[in-house]
Amino acid sequence: MSKIHPTSIVGPHVKLAASVEIGPFCVLTGHVEIGAHCRLLSHVVIGDEATKTVIGEKNVFHSGAVLGGAPQDLTYKGEKTELHIGDRNTIREFVTVNAGTPKGGGITRIGSDNLLMAYVHIAHDCQIGNHVVIANSSQFAGHVEIHDHAKISGVCLFNQFVVVGRHAYITGDSAVNKDVPPFCIAQGKYAVVRAANEIGMERSGIPKEDIENVRRAVRILTKSKLTLDESLQRIDTECKPCPSLNEFIAFIKSPDRKRGLAL
C-alpha cells in the first residue's frame, strides 16, 4: 500500500502504485496515474480536474513542483488533455509542467532519466526527450522539442516551436528563437551556433573521427560565409559520411522547420 502523509489530499480518480511515497501537504487531483517507487517530497501538486497525468516509475518530485495543470493558452477551453512523464526523472523545487492543448496534439511529454532543476517551466505540448538536463529558471514556451542528451544551462528562454537537436548544448542566459542542430553549442540573445559540442560528443562515446567530421561541418556552416546550399555542398565534399554527420545534415535539411536555423 502507498505511503501517504495524513496532511496530503489524494482525489478519488488518482491511481497509485503500491510503493509510491507521498510526503506532507501534497495535492493530487483529477485523473492521475503514478508508477512504482515514485516519491513526492512535500507540497507537490499533480493533476487538474480537466487533465490527465500519467507518470512512470522511480521519479522524484521536490517541494513546490506543479505538474499536469491546465495549459496557459487563451485558446484552451477545458478540453481533456494530458501530461506524460517517463521513468527515473528528478524534478526539483517549483518546476511547473503544463498539460497539452488540442491544437498541439493534446499531450506534453517528458521522457526518462532527465533532470529539471529549480524553477524550470515546461509549457503545453512540449516534447522533452531522454537524458536531458535543464538548469535553473529556464523557461520553455509551447510546442518546444528538446531531443535526447541535450543540455540546457540556466536562465535560458525558448520561443514556441523551437527544436533543439540531440547532444546540443545551450549556454546560460541565452534566448533561443530558432532551431539548434544536433551536436552544436549555441549562445546569445538571440542564440546562434558557435561551435560543435566536442566535449559532449566525446563523453557520449562518439568516435573521434566522427567528432572531427561534425566539427569541420559546423565550422563550414558557421564560418564560411557561404549560402546554406553552398555550405552543404562543401560539407558533402570535405567531410566523410558517418552517423553523427548524417544526423546533423538531416536536421538541417528537414522540411518541417518552423523557426529557421540558429545560424
Instruction: Indicate which residue of 48, 73, 87, 125 is catalytic.
Output: 125
Assigned C-alpha cell, 4: 501517504
Catalytic residue among 43, 124, 143, 167: 124
Query: Is residue 188 flagged as an active site residue?
Result: no
Query: In terms of Cα–Cα distance, which of 190, 181, 165, 83 is closest to 126?
Result: 83
β-pair type (139-140, 121-122): parallel
Is 142 among the residues known to form the active site? yes
**CA angle at 16 for the pair 127 and 25, rounded to the nearest 5°:** 90
d(CA 212, CA 210): 5
Is 188 strand, coil or helix? strand
Q: Which of 30, 142, 154, 200 is catalytic?
A: 142
Of 190, 184, 149, the residue nearest 170 (C-alpha): 184
Q: Rounded distance, CA 38 to CA 44, Å?
A: 12
Q: Which residues have a catalytic role annotated?
A: 124-125, 142
